[in-house]
Amino acid sequence: YSDADRNARHVAMADEAVHIGPSAARESYLVADRIIDAARRTGAQAIHPGYGFLSENAGFADACAAAGNVFIGPPADSIRAMGSKSEAKKIMEKAKVPLVPGYHGDDQSPELLAAEAAKIGFPVLIKAAAGGGGKGMRVVESAEKFADALAGAKREAKASFADDHVLVEKYLTRPRHIEIQVFADASDCLYLFERDCSLQRRHQKVIEEAPAPGMDPARRKAMGEAAVAAAKAIGYRGAGTVEFIADQDGTFFFMEMNTRLQVEHPVTEAITGQDLVEWQLVVAAGGKMPLTQNELRIDGHAVEVRLYAEDPARNFLPSTGTLVHLKLPDEGAHVRVDTGVRQGDTVTPFYDPMIAKVIVHDRDRASAMRRMAVLMGETEVVGVTTNAGLLKG
């Protein structure tokens, strides 16, 4: 834990807690040596990197191995392969995974990029090759606006990732964002169906559901097999997510691969009845996945919402302060709540402002959505502004 987390819920719940530095993540949670030292001091054999910070850091995976710790995640080479969006596209092209029409080359001259954009056809999307979270991303509607958008995207990419390399892709105006949960052990790779993450704000997911509405068996199989091909192409192990964008006509294209467990994995757990973290531990220990592809089934429908300390009326700016009053939904047969805070805790500016994830599982989509709307209406947070009203709607 860092200085900011000294009184946090996860610290109180832990059997052992190790202080790793100041509040700023770059001085604590992002310092690999401090994490590895904490493992050494406590006698830990393995390190689970969670969802963020060092979870997709190949250097950290290498450092764990060098220190004799098992990194509960994919091989470092798999992380590196998917760490650059442009390199990932090249690998996927070789593996015959469908790609959005675009330019992913090394020549970054503005003239060439503008020419490639014109060849693709507007609107186009400029994306930071080393990016994520919407940083270094611009939608460009016309050739006249391309130069300014490119300069802005490169500036932001350089500031966020120390790398201003970008790629240019066709921008789909009404796409669906569908991701496939993949899992691999030393001898097999399978998919645990899909999640629809189309509802986002500022390129960050807000509501996720599984299975995707309107998904037919043939398309599910095609997307699942494409995701498995992507994972196999980089020698993947453990839990990962292959993200696709799907057009109105049923076509789909590879977008990126997240080489970690996703924040929204509980909806997959709900519809499959499987514990993906348990699967991670088993595979990291050298074991095999407990089920084969043909043994997996979909049961009902699950929805996850992310309750954030943020102000929808102010472009979703984070809201900080003390949680003077907090009433989250009660957990039960249909409801799961994942949270790291309690009443009285402080939402600081140092980390992600998510208060909780609320997951509902029911017999069908309509039932799950109705149940979620009721739960959000009953959620009470005083001390910070939240997006609960938006989630209820």
40 an active-site residue?
no
Least Cα distance to 193 among 299, 280, 298, 266 occurs for 298
Q: Is 43 left (phi over 0), alpha (psi -120 to 50) or beta?
A: left
Provide the greatest CA pair distance for the chain: 60
Least Cα distance to 100 among 256, 219, 240, 228 occurs for 256
Q: CA 45 to CA 64: how far, in whole Å? A: 10
Least Cα distance to 215 among 98, 301, 96 occurs for 301
The one catalytic residue among 176, 220, 237, 260 = 260
Sequence length of the chain is 393
Q: CA 224 to CA 246: how far, in whole Å? A: 13
Q: Are 334 and 360 in contact (CB under 8 A)?
A: yes
Instruction: Mark out the alpha helices in 29-184 (DSSP H runs).
Output: 32-42, 58-66, 76-83, 85-94, 110-120, 146-161
Least Cα distance to 267 among 197, 371, 366 occurs for 197
CA 138 to chain centre: 20
Least Cα distance to 389 among 316, 301, 303, 302 occurs for 316
Please identify every residue annotated as catalytic.
260
